[in-house]
Amino acid sequence: MFLLLRKLNRLRRQADLERGPGGSLAVRHVDAGSCNGCESELNSVANTFYDLQRFGINIVASPRHADVLLITGPVTRRMREPLLRAYEAMPEPRLVAALGDCALGCNLLGLPSEHLDGVESVLHVDVRIEGCPPSPAAIASALEAALAAGLGR
């Protein structure tokens, strides 16, 4: 245990990560039909190489606690309703981020009757993060930029 903690501490020092601008963002993620690639990368931004939490950006458990709704996937027919309910549960002001090419409506696969054409078919998108899937570095810098632009204040 102590060995592990020491090792993690060293990793963190080696990475020599900078602190971000002030403020914070509470992010609620909703998977609206992704391939699991975006989820995997979103989990990776918490690892010691990126450590997104150092910017004050945290993934929170409920939309009621969230400033940002971070959506992956093209929005399948069956996830449309749960997605909108999560959005309605958020306090205002609230932001919508589309994570990955599917959420942005690019190169979609599947039956048109089973999914919409990305998040913009149902909600206004404030933050766009491109990639298939976007790398953890891209996710971190997009959210940090949103924070720096004052979207979190």
Partner 1 sequence: MRLESERVPPGRWRRTVVERQASGARFGSLHATAGEVRLLLVLPGGGCTLLITGGAEVESIVADVPAAGWAEREAHDLYGIEFLGHDPMRPLVLHSAEEWRVPVTGGGVHDVAVGPIHAGVIESGHFRFHAVGERILLLDLRLFYKHRGLEKAARGVALDQGIVYAQRACGTCAVANSVAYAQAAETVLGLQCGIATAHARTLLLEMERLYNHLGDLSAICAGIGFAAGGMALAALKERAQRLNQQLFGHRFLFDTVEVGGTSIEISSADARRAGAEVTAIVADAGIVWRELSFNGSVQDRLCGVGVLSHHQALRTGAVGPSARASGVDLDARSSAPDLLYPGFRSARLVDATGDVAARAEMRKIELEATGQLLDPLLQDGIRPERGRRQLEEQRMGFGRVESPRGETVCVVEGKSGGIERFHLRTASYANWPALIDVVPGNLLPEFPLINKSFELCYACVDR
Which residues contribute to the site for partner 1 (CB under 8 A)? 1, 3-5, 7-8, 11, 29-44, 46-49, 59, 61-62, 73-74, 76, 78-79, 82, 86, 109-111, 113-115, 132-133, 135-136
C-alpha span between 101 and 5 (Å, rounded): 37
- The least CB distance from residue 150 to partner 1, in Å, is 25
Q: Output 40 or 121, the one with its CB closest to partner 1.
A: 40
Q: Output 78 or 153, the one with its CB closest to partner 1.
A: 78
Q: Output 5 or 19, the one with its CB closest to partner 1.
A: 5
- The least CB distance from residue 37 to partner 1, in Å, is 3
Tokens read off for 133: 């899937």
User: Omega into 93 within 30° of 0, i.e. cis?
Assistant: yes
Q: CA distances (Å), 113 to each of 46, 78, 110, in order?
A: 35, 11, 9
**SS3 per residue for 34-57:** CCCHHHHHHHHCCCCCCCHHHHCE
- The least CB distance from residue 25 to partner 1, in Å, is 15
- The least CB distance from residue 120 to partner 1, in Å, is 18
Strands 68-72, 57-59: pairing is unpaired
Q: Output 85 or 153, the one with its CB closest to partner 1.
A: 85
What residues have CB less than 8 Å from 31, skipping those under 6 apart? 38, 39, 72, 73, 79
